[in-house]
Amino acid sequence: MMHSPIPLSRDLVLIGGGHAHALVLRMWGMDPLPGARLTVIDPNPVAPYTGMLPGLVAGHYRRAELEIDLVRLARFAGARLIVGAVTAIDAEAGRLTVAGRGDLGFDVASVDVGIHSAMPDLPGFAEHGAAAKPLGPFAEAWEGFVQQVAEGAAPRAAVIGGGIAGIELALAMAFRLRQVAGHAEVTLIERAATLAPDTPVVRARLARACGAAGVRVLTGAEVTELTGGGVVLRDGRTIAAGFVAGAAGARAHGWLAQSGLPVTAEGFLRVGADLRVEGQEALFAAGDCAHLTHAPRPRAGVFAVRAAPVLRDNLRAVLSGGRTRAFHPQRDYLKLISLGGKSALGEKLGVAIGGPVLWRLKDRIDRKFMAKFHDLPAMPAPAMPRLRALADTAETAPLCGGCGAKVSPGVLASVLSAQGPVRRADVLSGPGDDAAVIAVGGARQVLTTDHLRGFTEDWGVMARIAALHALGDIWAMGAAPQAALVSVTLPRMSETLQARSMAEIMAHAGAALRAAGAEIVGGHSTMGAETSIGLTLTGLLTRDPITIGGARTGDALILTRPIGAGVLLAAEMRGLAEGRDIAALLGILQVPQGDAAEILAGPAHAMTDVTGFGLAGHLMAMCRASGVAARLDLAAVPTYRGAEALAAAGVRSTILEANRAAAPVAGGSGPRHELLHDPQTAGGLLAAVAPGQAEAILARLRAAGHRAACIGALTEGPATITCTPGANQETFHESGNRP
């Protein structure tokens, strides 16, 4: 990926994708600070806008309408997104810990991780309750319950917490359940003596709204336990409920206090007027996780939104040696409270009004905010020169990353054929297979190399995928991984950032290689225009190598992984892919396939890994080497979620047309047919096995966690590929490589 000509020198890390950070990312994309490397870390690829949660619960909004796609936003901002949860910050050392990844260094950091409403001390809540925050798990649990009600379950729900958030949820639940089942039984439980104890101005109106909606209100009621049947109160009463929501107050994330940072008694970060954490020069905080010591305010999204420009300016100031400025939050704001249906209550300065017009106002405000992230401004592309040399192609789209950046298969084949035959007796095979076979003393080794152009700014993820991608050649030959040389090109950066970057890359590549039985024994590093990671690997053979030339007429074709990675990565580069689809894809590409190779090694007559030349290209190579033809069942070929829709919309990888020319496929049409030529990064293993063994092999692969499929068979004839369209197409929907 191309970087600024100014060397990178400072690391800025945004911890959490809250409202303030989302706005900072948007502003950063429009005016980045040269020399600063921006990273955002969040447990999810999307961040919810909680102001629209009641509307989601009531059924007024689709979930996508209130989610900020952090993958697209990070790409727009020129930032790298790490999908993970921060569990500790060492502010003095400039280091933070991400669960499952280890430590990352920073020069300046900001925290906007929001709050949660889980109730860990309430017996049974973890098993039978759903915390209103974070939104993702809550929304999934609620939609699951609504589906159960639609299928005949009793429409009974309860909400623990009678503040504004709890009231909005209870009213929204009652509205939605009535729409689904015709009636609803919703109970709102508040420990205090009155409903809405912190908002007396609107209390009476909210009580009337609950009554009109049929929401049963219990005040002065303390919950002691949740069971599979509902809520148990201290006085012995049991409230029957199939769904129980926790909305009893805002809770800070415990790891903030455990990191030794200054926090309030409730665990919220104490920040000063310039949004810096007290006593810290390079650590900021905003949103609900922060307490403004100079101007305490309620926990409301409006303050995070207003703080964002100040936060952005102050982060830039500290990174560049400038002066920070103070954030002055407004004293009051318009509070808009959803009432279940498309009606709302508004309160400001002690005056309250309600009705549909307030809902329309709230809806317009919410949609306007979300439009900032759904409709990111198009940044102007560099102007094409007026005068330029004649070209063979009109291709002007950005060069893809990963295997989408490979040299054309036709060009590569002509260059390799010009090298002539192998002359050394100890080199047992030449170019053409997945790896070369070399005699060393009394042993045989396989030798391969692979190199990937950057396709994600998360270099830990890229390093792991690059290692597994290179290991695919070793596994496909039936060899045991042995040793690795790592080659890394970094964009120009300071020595501090070089050290951080190389440590991250080597840690993740090393972990993937060690898990496969290989060791890093050296390598090479340099700085250049963009990031790339390559590996040269050796493997030991204890059996005859599995080549692409042993396939037989009648063999069944087994593929261990879906296709469509190339089009997804190409779309992500252009801001066209769904963040959830990209996060799911990257998760799958980090799953090793060594166990799949072991399952296939015995029965496979021929095997290869599907990479840059696409499924059709690698299958054609097998057909040519084996002297057979192939028939594909197009419907049986699995695809990654989102890939077909993107292909149908015209998204293409850089190398796709060259792949199509090198391995044409007769029969069939449409986006799935096009994906047969899509370049794959860390793609699946493709094996030819005896037809009578295919079913048992598939069962073993799926039991091991691989989304394997029998996609066709080999037939007699010249090396050609024909496909039948079929009817039952399979799309890969899971977030991991699981059946």
Residue 698 included in any domain: yes
Report if residue 428 sits inside a domain: no
In a domain, 412, yes or no: no
Exposed / middle / buried, residue 721 (Cβ in 10 Å: 0-12, 13-18, 19+): buried
Residues 185 and 289 in one domain: no
- 263 and 361 part of one domain: yes
The reply to whether 455 and 580 lie within a common domain is: no
Residue numbers annotated as active site:
403
Identify the bridge partners of residue 81 per DSSP, sorted by sequence position.
40
The ranges of the chain with pLDDT < 50 are: 1-2, 727-729, 732-739
Question: Are residue 237 and residue 258 in the same domain, yes or no?
Answer: no
Strand 443-453 with 532-541, pairing: antiparallel
Q: Which CATH number fits the domain that encloses residue 660? A: 3.90.650.10
pLDDT of residue 569: 95
pLDDT tens for 457-481 read: 999 999 999 999 999 999 999 999 9
3-state secondary structure string across 279-296:
CCCCEEECHHHEEECCCC
User: What are phi and psi for residue 148, nearest 5 degrees?
Assistant: -60, -40
Q: Computed over its alpha carbons, how large is the radius of gyration of the chain?
A: 29
Final residue belonging to a domain, choices 246, 273, 305? 246
Closest CA to 325 of 339, 307, 338, 343: 307
Place of tokens 């970057």: 501
Last residue within a domain, chosen from 546, 561, 579 = 546
Please indicate, yes or no, if residue 679 is contained in any of the structural domains. Answer: yes
Final residue belonging to a domain, choices 195, 229, 246? 246
Say if residue 726 is in the same domain as residue 580.
yes
Count CB atoms within 10 A of the CB of residue 241.
Answer: 24
535 and 557 both lie in a single domain: no
Q: What does the alpha-carbon distance between residue 20 and residue 289 come to, in Å, rounded to a whole number?
A: 11
Please count the structural domains in the chain.
Answer: 4
- DSSP calls for 674-723: HHTT---SS--EEEEE-GGGHHHHHHHHHHTT---EEEEEEESSSS-EEE
Say if residue 640 is in the same domain as residue 711: yes
CA distances, 263 to each of 259, 278, 286 (Å):
10, 9, 13
Do residues 553 and 697 both lie within one domain? yes
Predicted pLDDT at 246:
94
Task: Calculate the average pLDDT of the chain.
Answer: 91
| Whether 260 and 174 share a structural domain | no
Domain assignment present for 270: yes
CA atoms within a 13 Å half-sphere pointing along the CA-CB vector of 733: 3
Question: Does residue 228 form part of some domain?
Answer: yes
Please tell me the predicted confidence (pLDDT) of residue 332. Answer: 77
Q: Is 413 a member of any domain?
A: no
Q: What is the pLDDT of residue 512?
A: 97
The CATH number given to whatever domain includes residue 310 is 3.50.50.60
Per residue in 193-206, pLDDT (tens digit) is 999 888 888 999 99
Q: Dihedral of CA 37/39/45/49: which sign?
A: negative
User: What three-state secondary structure class fits 665?
Assistant: strand
Give residue 536's domain range: 434-546
Residue 606 lies in a domain: yes
Please check whether residues 103 and 159 belong to one and the same domain. no
What gap in Å lies between CA 457 and CA 501, rounded to an integer?
11
Q: What is the CATH number of the domain that holds 478?
A: 3.30.1330.10
Residues 604 and 554 in one domain: yes
446 and 487 belong to one structural domain: yes
